[in-house]
């Protein structure tokens, strides 16, 4: 049995109850054969056995008192997965579905994403099963304070720098930053995604969505294609989806869908970004409200989706941008996308496609931008925020946006050249995984048996 297969068997036995983590490990290890077969040093140094185990996992209870005076208890986590390339870096997710398995999959992916950015950052992820939906601002603030009270001693600007993710945006980062400052008396870049008033970076809000579209442009250019005039589908209606839609429109494409956990919008005239922001960022309402404000829009509730399918992926498109959550594109969705002529899938969310869906994209030869490459714009601009904080400077929007474009181009080039080097020129998943793994693994070997 090969080194990879033995490791997969060992991880599957040990973590049989962590489905999402196992999926992420299979996705990465399954592409490393060409590298590992020709380089015995990785096996000799037990790199796979080490890389699948987090360096440190912190788990804590979060008791806090809500605005009705009742005590609630949530679970909090920080998975400090790998620091071979730099301080731990990765977001915090507040969502009822958060478990160690979800955070380990996200942290594992983050190691390789951060390596691809070329910006000297390690990989981490954290969060809580707290559900922010429908909570008052006071509840959100108290929960964020309680969360940071337990986390602050494990983080720092050269140790571990958390950011946002699902359920954690600028408001939550602000409350956590205020608490960190109170506890440590330090005004330092310990979190990214901060407000511009206290160390935030211009273009951080837009970075993941914009970066995803820049990555798609790089992929399309390799086939002499572009986005102008093209119908696109986008899922999600949060930070990543909104700025993906905005950039698509700026480039003359026509994004026609968005979705949230309750339903989807199909807007035949193209999504109106101002209305979307009003509904999601100002009113924090459901997408039914978007349909009320836009006569051209059709709302489809989750319960009315075609059986076992996600409505968004049944809409014919030239390019698809999954920007909501993990495993939101299954095999049937992928087949339908391809049947309807989709030529490009660029992932804004983390692990939005199942392993079977990925096989469909690769089998059909359509352009496929895997999440760890296509959505690396967010963490990259977070690192630019760290750099600005360290030097106490502020760059302009255009300066950050231009650096983001350059970083996404570099990531595409790395993934594409490595894919060619290992004989699979169209497989950016293989190229991204091998390129990132090689860098992290070599750094681990050079740092001894830690």
DSSP-derived 3-state class of residue 102: helix
Q: Are 31 and 433 in contact (CB under 8 A)?
A: yes
d(Cα 328, Cα 193) in Å, to the nearest integer?
25
d(Cα 309, Cα 330) in Å, to the nearest integer?
8
CB of 34 to ligand NDP, least distance (A): 27
- Judged by beta carbon, residue 48 or residue 236, the one nearer ligand NDP is 236
Which among 338, 330, 323 is positioned nearest to 305, based on CA atoms?
330
Tokens (6 digits) for 134: 């429908």
Among 375, 388, 416, 433, binds ligand NDP (CB under 6 A): 375
Among 76, 238, 255, 369, binds ligand NDP (CB under 6 A): 238
Which among 110, 113, 109, 126 is positioned nearest to 25, based on CA atoms?
109
Which among 204, 327, 305, 308 is positioned nearest to 257, based on CA atoms?
305
CB of 367 to ligand NDP, least distance (A): 19
The yes or no reply on residue 236 touching ligand NDP (CB under 6 A) is yes
Q: Are 109 and 181 in contact (CB under 8 A)?
A: no
How wide is the angle at C-alpha 260 spanned by C-alphas 318 and 231, nearest 5°?
15
The yes or no reply on residue 90 touching ligand NDP (CB under 6 A) is no
- Judged by beta carbon, residue 167 or residue 199, the one nearer ligand NDP is 167
* Subset of residues 378 to 407 that bind ligand NDP, contact rule: CB under 6 A: 378
- Judged by beta carbon, residue 241 or residue 434, the one nearer ligand NDP is 241
The yes or no reply on residue 345 touching ligand NDP (CB under 6 A) is no
**Active-site option among 89, 113, 125, 280:** 125
Q: Which residues pair with 58 in a beta bridge?
A: 78
277 catalytic per annotation = no
- Judged by beta carbon, residue 53 or residue 281, the one nearer ligand NDP is 281
- Judged by beta carbon, residue 126 or residue 422, the one nearer ligand NDP is 126
What is the H or E stretch that residue 49 is in? helix 47-51
The yes or no reply on residue 206 touching ligand NDP (CB under 6 A) is no
Question: Left (φ > 0), alpha (ψ -120 to 50) or beta: where does 300 sit?
Answer: beta
- Judged by beta carbon, residue 165 or residue 336, the one nearer ligand NDP is 165
CB of 153 to ligand NDP, least distance (A): 25
Q: Nearest to ligand NDP by Cβ — which residue? A: 238
Among 31, 343, 350, 353, binds ligand NDP (CB under 6 A): 350
CB of 305 to ligand NDP, least distance (A): 11
Q: Are 81 and 109 in contact (CB under 8 A)?
A: no
Among 116, 231, 324, 408, binds ligand NDP (CB under 6 A): 324
Only one of the segments 221-229, 344-352, 385-393, 424-432 lies at the binding site for ligand NDP (rule: CB under 6 A); that segment is: 344-352
CB of 83 to ligand NDP, least distance (A): 20
Q: How many residues bind ligand NDP (CB under 6 A)?
A: 22
d(Cα 50, Cα 330) in Å, to the nearest integer?
30
Only one of the segments 20-28, 346-354, 395-403, 425-433 lies at the binding site for ligand NDP (rule: CB under 6 A); that segment is: 346-354
Residues, the chain = 450
Q: Please give the DSSP secondary-structure letter assigned to residue 268.
A: T
The yes or no reply on residue 370 touching ligand NDP (CB under 6 A) is no
* Subset of residues 156 to 175 that bind ligand NDP, contact rule: CB under 6 A: 164-167
DSSP-derived 3-state class of residue 122: strand
* Subset of residues 240 to 279 that bind ligand NDP, contact rule: CB under 6 A: 240-241, 260-262
d(Cα 421, Cα 214) in Å, to the nearest integer?
23
Among 24, 237, 400, 404, binds ligand NDP (CB under 6 A): 237
CB of 44 to ligand NDP, least distance (A): 34
d(Cα 294, Cα 279) in Å, to the nearest integer?
11
Q: Which residues contact 230 (CB under 8 A, 6 or more apart)?
A: 253, 254, 317, 318, 319
Catalytic residues: 125
What does the binding site for ligand NDP look like in residue numbers (CB under 6 A)? 164-167, 208, 236-241, 260-262, 323-325, 348-350, 375, 378
């Amino acid at each position: 049995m090969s080194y990879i297969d033995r490791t997969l068997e060992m991880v599957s036995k040990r973590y049989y109850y962590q489905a999402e983590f196992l999926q992420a490990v299979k996705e990465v290890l399954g592409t490393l054969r060409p590298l590992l077969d020709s380089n015995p040093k990785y096996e000799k140094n037990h790199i796979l056995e080490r890389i699948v185990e987090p360096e440190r996992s912190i788990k804590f209870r979060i008791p806090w008192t809500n605005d009705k005076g009742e005590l609630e208890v949530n679970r909090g986590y920080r998975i400090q997965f790998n620091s071979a390339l730099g301080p731990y870096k990765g977001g915090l997710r507040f969502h009822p579905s958060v478990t160690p398995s979800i955070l380990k999959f996200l942290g594992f992916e983050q190691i390789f994403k951060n390596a691809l950015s070329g910006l000297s950052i390690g990989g981490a992820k954290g969060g809580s099963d707290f559900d922010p939906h429908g909570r008052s601002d006071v509840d959100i603030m108290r929960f964020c304070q309680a969360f940071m009270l337990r986390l602050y001693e494990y983080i720092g600007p050269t140790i571990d720098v958390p950011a946002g993710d699902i359920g954690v945006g600028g408001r939550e980062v602000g409350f956590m930053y205020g608490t960190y400052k109170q506890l440590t008396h330090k005004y330092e870049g310990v979190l990214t995604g901060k407000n511009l008033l206290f160390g935030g970076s211009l273009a951080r809000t837009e970075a993941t969505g914009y970066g995803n579209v820049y990555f798609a442009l790089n992929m399309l250019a390799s086939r002499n294609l572009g986005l102008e005039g093209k119908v696109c589908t986008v899922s999600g209606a949060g930070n990543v989806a909104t700025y993906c839609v905005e950039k698509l429109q700026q480039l003359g494409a026509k994004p026609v869908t968005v979705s949230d956990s309750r339903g989807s919008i199909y807007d035949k005239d193209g999504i109106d970004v101002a209305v979307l922001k009003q509904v999601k960022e100002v009113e924090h309402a459901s997408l039914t409200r978007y349909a009320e404000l836009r006569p051209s829009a059709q709302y489809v509730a989750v319960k009315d989706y075609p059986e076992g399918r996600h409505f968004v992926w049944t809409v014919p498109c030239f390019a698809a941008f999954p920007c909501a959550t993990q495993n939101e594109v299954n095999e049937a969705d992928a087949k339908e996308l391809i049947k309807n002529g989709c030529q490009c899938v660029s992932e804004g969310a983390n692990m939005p496609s199942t392993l079977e869906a990925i096989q469909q994209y690769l089998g059909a030869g359509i352009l496929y931008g895997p999440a760890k490459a296509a959505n690396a714009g967010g963490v990259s601009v977070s690192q630019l925020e760290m750099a600005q904080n360290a030097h106490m400077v502020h760059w302009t929007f255009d300066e950050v946006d231009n650096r983001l474009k350059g970083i996404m181009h570099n990531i595409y080039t790395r993934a594409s050249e490595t894919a060619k080097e290992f004989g699979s020129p169209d497989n950016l998943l293989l190229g991204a995984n091998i390129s990132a793994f090689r860098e992290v693994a070599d750094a681990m070997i050079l740092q001894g048996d830690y």
